[in-house]
Amino acid sequence: MSDLGVAVVIEDDADVRNLLHAVFLQAGFVVHSASSGREGVGVVRDNQPNVVTLDIGLPDIDGFEVLRRIRQFSTAYVVMLTGRTDEPDLLTALHGGADDYITKPFRPLELRARISALMRRPRQDTFGGEPAASADRPAAFEAPGTLRHNSLALNAASRTAALDGAPVELTRSEFDLLLELMRGAGAVRSRSELVRVVRGDYYSEDAYISEADERAVEVHIGNLRRKLRDNAEEPRWLQTVRGVGYRLAPERAERTAGPS
């Protein structure tokens, strides 16, 4: 087997499917393909791939339902392929556990670079995987080098997070964005800068960043706020800087129990 592992292509268009198959094969993957959603779920289950490309517009069940079924048993990186960039589609894909998306038509080199960037970063999701750290002794509060802000703790080495002493499960993109903001210690990070955080090495300083890329960052930030139970109007952690990007909210004096 290849050092890179296994890829599964779920795509009903034969030309696109053959192109994707060739891209993965040239990159060094063992490749399996499927032309429908139900078939794709079975191929993923049978072959336990490292990465999956998944078309949204499949002939039997749509890609969102395929993603939901795959996430019940697989931690594979999933890249959604779509000809649409509407925010509802991005929201559905990212809420459902997709790691990335790419719009059609796409350049093979771009897809290959996106996949390489994903696979260089550890998985953070726990779909049937290892359990999160104990709420009584969360790893993020104990490990050396932990970053802390308003009762939120993050450790880059163990890729663990804890909020008010309880573990928080974050996706790879959510973790990387939060880590970047916490390392910035209150400095503003523009949406384009955060796109590069999510996309990895593929996006150089002079690379074009689309509106869809920036909307995806907004979706990830929205998911982070939901998981951190943050209020955008009175943020404790993530503050929007209108027209620019995001920063950490100011530090607050944490309440501690005192003598009665």
What is the average per-residue pLDDT within 180-190? 86
pLDDT above 80 (res 19): yes
Q: What integer pLDDT is reported at residue 33 of this predicted model? A: 95
pLDDT, one tens digit per residue, over 40-95 is: 999 999 999 999 999 998 999 999 999 999 999 998 989 988 876 666 676 677 77
pLDDT above 80 (res 144): no
The residues, ordered by sequence, that sit 6+ positions from 206 with a Cβ below 8 Å of its Cβ are none
Contact status, residue 222 vs residue 157, Cβ threshold 8 Å? no
φ/ψ of residue 149, rounded to 5: -160, 120
What DSSP state is assigned to residue 205? T
Q: What integer pLDDT is reported at residue 85 of this predicted model? A: 60
pLDDT above 90 (res 100): no
pLDDT band of 141, cuts 50, 70, 90: low
pLDDT band of 200, cuts 50, 70, 90: low
Residue 148, both tokens: 């802390």
Q: What integer pLDDT is reported at residue 139 of this predicted model? A: 47
Mean pLDDT of the chain: 79
Residue 201 CB: number of other CB atoms within 10 A? Answer: 10
In this structure, of 92-106, 177-191, 198-212, the range with the lowest mean pLDDT score is 198-212
What CATH number should be reported for the domain whose range is 6-119? 3.40.50.2300
Domain 139-248 has CATH 1.10.340.30: no
Q: What integer pLDDT is reported at residue 66 of this predicted model? A: 94
Q: What integer pLDDT is reported at residue 161 of this predicted model? A: 86
Select the highest-mean-pLDDT range: 18-32, 77-91, 187-201, 211-225: 18-32
Domain ranges of the chain: 6-119, 139-248
User: What span, in angstroms and rounded, lies between the C-alpha atoms of 155 and 162?
Assistant: 9
One-letter amino acid identity for 71?
A: R
pLDDT band of 3, cuts 50, 70, 90: low
Helix (H, G, I), strand (E, B) or coil at 141: helix
Q: What integer pLDDT is reported at residue 8 of this predicted model? A: 97
pLDDT above 60 (res 254): no
